[in-house]
Structure 1
């Protein structure tokens, strides 16, 4: 691929590493060792930006440009288009060009997604309708040509999938995606809920398909399940034309993968408002999979008041999810199954209780599954899966109990990308095993490591009609025992750590005499002397901060509320946004060995940030020391003294603020600072272990109390 013709396209050190197929440390080493390495054209000292064209040329001269980096070299040019839709449509047209080429190899080319007008792309086993005009700029057209050229070498689907993945990562705040493990689970649950008709799926619909994750999972599960004369029909719609186009191309290209074998499907994805203008009014699907938008207010309450889809009652204005549930049921064939991903409030909000009761009486609601937080956006919420079955016409569904599964605690210990935030990751294999086993047995599967129960309708049809699984499902014996064993193991480890630290710290004997010749100096004095720099935390832009499971390259965001909660950062930002914010001066980001100080009296503290980078919010401050003059651990230890906070507080109430510049530090030599600093480090470790031991101890007390109060003390066998 030729180098970028646009010199304005820039890349970070991490992107250079991906282009060259090496680690970031190797790129930093090249930059130090080679005077010819391109100079930064922007960014900051901690996150510099380099011209892509200069980087490519330098890598070629050095023989370090690996062919596998072709897609990585291509992506910065897509990103330079700037506009989300401009990038997305260029990727969609790339997919159309690649799909036509793939179909052409099989002798089935029948059209092309036009770059200037609406069109349809069809093959013998695929038909994609996207009713939007696409007008590309010269830059977009040139980029599409380079992408198509690269795809001929590195694979059509692989190239398109890479570009789509990067586009989604770049715009993760604006676009919610159903994670692949959850999409596969929803398709499997739909199959298992068809009461023995799993091999008879001819049509699958997603009325809010986004970029097509659920449709792709359906295509892979049911391709080839229809008759030879009637291939599987994949139908979708989304209000966002760009996402609809990308979904169509994604599924089309997946149909040309070698592993697809003889399976085939037809694809029809449309752009438009599903509730107001459904393009598939006559369709009766065997399966509906949907992750609809949540908490919409302008979903069409007034104009759709008399719509025939509201068989179970007019959805309240504040209950848009109930409109999506009834839309899904209206598009199912008799006995068809729908699986929807919904917020937990749908199961309990007072405004929706009449419709929930009507769904129960009609026997169409089969199961509600409470998922762990982080299963899908919004990641801070424990979402629910609703499994519904359209009436078959013979009345067999009436009076059936409802399966409730509480899998909200199916998570692993913090690891990988969640380590910085301290949040648990989802154990997807265990979650699948639990849900699938419960659905297969109808709630009679014995001792699973999570609670599930089949609840008679009479117990649900009360004044509240609350379908929240946690309200009805007791904790299982197995889950309680496993939790207790893990807690005892962790508690024992913490006790060992505390014993070692206690032996060291208890040996310290503090002098009773007033130290001679030791004065103090304020942080303000040290700033003026150049011994350290002081920066204040800043509020990220509205809506920029994400919650839930964080990607590997994300940066945690720390707030005063997080410090008060004592659980570490609870939110994060993508790395590319942090780099941009740091370059623009709108974000405060730490580097290793910097000292963080909380400027709020109620949460006052100071520590060395060993997990940098961290984005700091308001009332947090970061101090960067000159290592030839100050030891960071010594500085943090002096600053965090409670007496120091009282002296520097603006007034005596707990809502006061700390004037960080007035905090005082001992004046001792650097060698003495390091001696003090090592002791402060041990004291910090002691405090952390003590706090965690207290939390684990409370878990043990609660677990044992619950077990004993339930009569689970073993019998005396003497």
Structure 2
């Protein structure tokens, strides 16, 4: 391979990452410093600079962030290889070398150029202070983000959900062999290893037709999970049908979809088509039958498929045959945006080998498309993965769960054999006259509360104040012992429960609110919460503490009145000295959006807020208490406004439902 003599280049965004600042800061450096390097390529809108020149300039002006600069300086040199495969092979070889895998050990070996070998050596040098796992993750993430249009991955929350569903399907049976026949970069197997590796003797088998993806999967699993027995093969799974060392206990797969050239003609007599030869347009059903062919006795599979697979007429006969054989345990409809393509609500098919009466006689349908958290922030909605997992697992355990249904196989087989959950799950109960009456009563009550709250605030006026009021930062208050700051942490998963919180249990507060029905929360046993706090693994609130959300999305601050509660990640507890600060006044100052903008990075709605940079007005404590009381009234007013909106939307929905049913009449 030809070695390149052109200079390694870097963009403005890359310079910002290298220096640990925002892109706006780099633009300011470029505008204000005459000695800032000139572009060597790119366009006016997206200029490119020589990496060597930029590094020299940053060192000269003392602007290099040494804590992360090593990896950020290395990545442009890897990216300069200019080829997806060569970049991927360098990252993979680095991971294998960090894991201690010798070259020429019988696995797929890739010849690297001298330049590429030098990059691998630089990775090993940078990783010397630790195990190298963090550095490999950085490089893999950068490779994936650079080639996001060419590489499809399974998001980690979805991968973890598929693993949890598979564990429930196994119903406590031992899991020693997990297979992914279309592994990509190994997200599903990595989640499986985290879930089951501690049981010992776990075998992971991965197959992918892309040699770069297969190599990266091998490096990733070898480095992250050295105790597992790992086998990665490069093969076209459908055409070559690679033979496994032993049948699979669990198969997790996100196969390619909407393929036409998958081998339909040459595989016409393949032994795997036990339930019918898949039509050319049904490559997904070819994958389903391949997956079933590698399952051992009692084996289970969770497969991510497009929604059309459940209803396309061309696949009706195969779906019917799968149902008759008792192989389909259930179908889960996921919210839109769960995985690429993000504009489609994908399905999870739950499969198992025959042998259980329940799987032979009925199919579970779970419509989790509504498991979303809606926010007034600019990010709109996000998927509530806890709700998806809980709804599915609870239904598998036989619990009565909303938007789920168990349908006999005999009722599914027909002209369409449609396995779409939304068409099998019963519709919500129809609106009644009682619902309408409750809606109007609720609206009247909410409007009355809003009027009373507004009457308290309406007489308030605006006083003249100093043009530049004196204020103080949380950091300064912390130094003077007026406040004590503690950052929330994620509670250990094994201690967290979900559902209706029992008396005496401690609620877990999260930065992104849950979409569960009222009363359904995360909670931890009180004694366990206290033990976690003493061990430094949890942060508990007390009455009067101020809680601050440490992200721009959902930023808020409030005074704890329902303590004790356990704070999750991105939440901060500010404990005040009551002789120096009024907590309600403090919360009023902290929650102002302008305060968050000054203390944040402004890069996006997901940017962090440096809580210590938030400002508080400097006032005598007596005046603080007066303003703090006004803040309490303001909170009541805001809650009343929110209640009116919520009750109004519910009432509007009831009226619309009655109108659509033709049951709405004038008196």
Return the TM-score normalized by structure 2.
Answer: 0.64
Which residue of the partner structure matches residue 462 of structure 1?
414
Which residue of the partner structure matches residue 220 of structure 1?
194
How far apart are residue 266 of structure 1 and its match? 0.3
- What is the alpha-carbon distance in structure 2 between the residues aligned to residue 154 and residue 41 of structure 1? 36
How far apart are residue 436 of structure 1 and its match? 2.6
Counterpart among 390, 393, 409 of residue 353 in structure 2: 390
- What is the alpha-carbon distance in structure 2 between the residues aligned to residue 415 and residue 23 of structure 1? 26
Structure 1 residues 305, 283: closer, same or farther in 2, change over 3 A? farther
How far apart are residue 267 of structure 1 and its match? 0.3
How far apart are residue 13 of structure 1 and its match? 2.1
Query: Is the Cα contact below 8 Å between 1:362 and 1:398 reproduced in 2?
Result: no
Which residue of the partner structure matches residue 163 of structure 1?
139
The alignment status of 1:404 with 2:365, answered yes or no, reads yes
How far apart are residue 712 of structure 1 and its match? 11
What does 1:268-347 align with in structure 2 at a 5 Å threshold?
268-281=231-244, 283-347=246-310
Query: Is the Cα contact below 8 Å between 2:239 and 2:267 reproduced in 1?
Result: yes
Query: Is the Cα contact below 8 Å between 1:208 and 1:237 reproduced in 2?
Result: yes
> Secondary structure of 1:193's match?
helix
The alignment status of 1:432 with 2:389, answered yes or no, reads yes
Structure 1 residues 79, 376: closer, same or farther in 2, change over 3 A? same
Which residue of the partner structure matches residue 548 of structure 1?
none
Which residue of the partner structure matches residue 205 of structure 2?
235
Query: Is the Cα contact below 8 Å between 1:361 and 1:398 reproduced in 2?
Result: no
Structure 1 residues 57, 415: closer, same or farther in 2, change over 3 A? farther
What does 1:550-629 align with in structure 2 at a 5 Å threshold?
none
Which residue of the partner structure matches residue 369 of structure 1?
332
Query: Is the Cα contact below 8 Å between 2:98 and 2:131 reproduced in 1?
Result: no
Query: Is the Cα contact below 8 Å between 1:364 and 1:397 reproduced in 2?
Result: no
The alignment status of 1:205 with 2:195, answered yes or no, reads no
Query: Is the Cα contact below 8 Å between 1:402 and 1:454 reproduced in 2?
Result: yes
Give deviations 1:102-145, integer Å, cap 9, x for gaps: xxxxxxxxx5235xxxx44xxxxxxxx43xx4121222122111
Give deviations 1:473-509, integer Å, cap 9, x for gaps: 134469999xx99xx99x99xxx9xxxxxxxxxxxxx
How far apart are residue 707 of structure 1 and its match? 5.8
The alignment status of 1:91 with 2:71, answered yes or no, reads no
The alignment status of 1:174 with 2:150, answered yes or no, reads yes
Query: Is the Cα contact below 8 Å between 2:431 and 2:657 reproduced in 1?
Result: no
Structure 1 residues 282, 44: closer, same or farther in 2, change over 3 A? closer
Structure 1 residues 702, 357: closer, same or farther in 2, change over 3 A? same
- The runs of 5 or more residues in structure 2 that have no matched partner are 452-550, 552-601, 605-646
What does 1:631-650 align with in structure 2 at a 5 Å threshold?
none
Task: Output the aligned Cα RMSD.
Answer: 3.6
Counterpart among 97, 102, 107 of residue 112 in structure 1: 102
How far apart are residue 702 of structure 1 and its match? 5.5
Counterpart among 247, 254, 275 of residue 217 in structure 2: 247
- What is the alpha-carbon distance in structure 2 between the residues aligned to residue 415 and residue 154 of structure 1? 42
- What is the alpha-carbon distance in structure 1 between the residues aligned to residue 29 and residue 5 of structure 2? 24
How far apart are residue 698 of structure 1 and its match? 10
How far apart are residue 697 of structure 1 and its match? 9.8
Which residue of the partner structure matches residue 705 of structure 1?
656
Query: Is the Cα contact below 8 Å between 1:233 and 1:265 reproduced in 2?
Result: yes
Structure 1 residues 75, 415: closer, same or farther in 2, change over 3 A? farther
Query: Is the Cα contact below 8 Å between 2:251 and 2:295 reproduced in 1?
Result: yes
Structure 1 residues 26, 225: closer, same or farther in 2, change over 3 A? same
- What is the alpha-carbon distance in structure 2 between the residues aligned to residue 282 and residue 21 of structure 1? 48
- What is the alpha-carbon distance in structure 1 between the residues aligned to residue 148 and residue 229 of structure 2? 29
- What is the alpha-carbon distance in structure 2 between the residues aligned to residue 55 and residue 171 of structure 1? 25
How far apart are residue 372 of structure 1 and its match? 1.1
How far apart are residue 709 of structure 1 and its match? 7.1
- What is the alpha-carbon distance in structure 2 between the residues aligned to residue 473 and residue 458 of structure 1? 16
- The runs of 5 or more residues in structure 1 that have no matched partner are 101-110, 121-128, 257-263, 497-551, 553-610, 614-695, 714-718
Return the TM-score normalized by structure 1.
Answer: 0.59
The alignment status of 1:184 with 2:160, answered yes or no, reads yes
Deviates more, 1:64-73 or 1:182-191: 64-73
Which residue of the partner structure matches residue 35 of structure 1?
34
Give deviations 1:174-225, integer Å, cap 9, x for gaps: 111000000000010000011332xx10100000101000010111111132
Structure 1 residues 465, 88: closer, same or farther in 2, change over 3 A? same
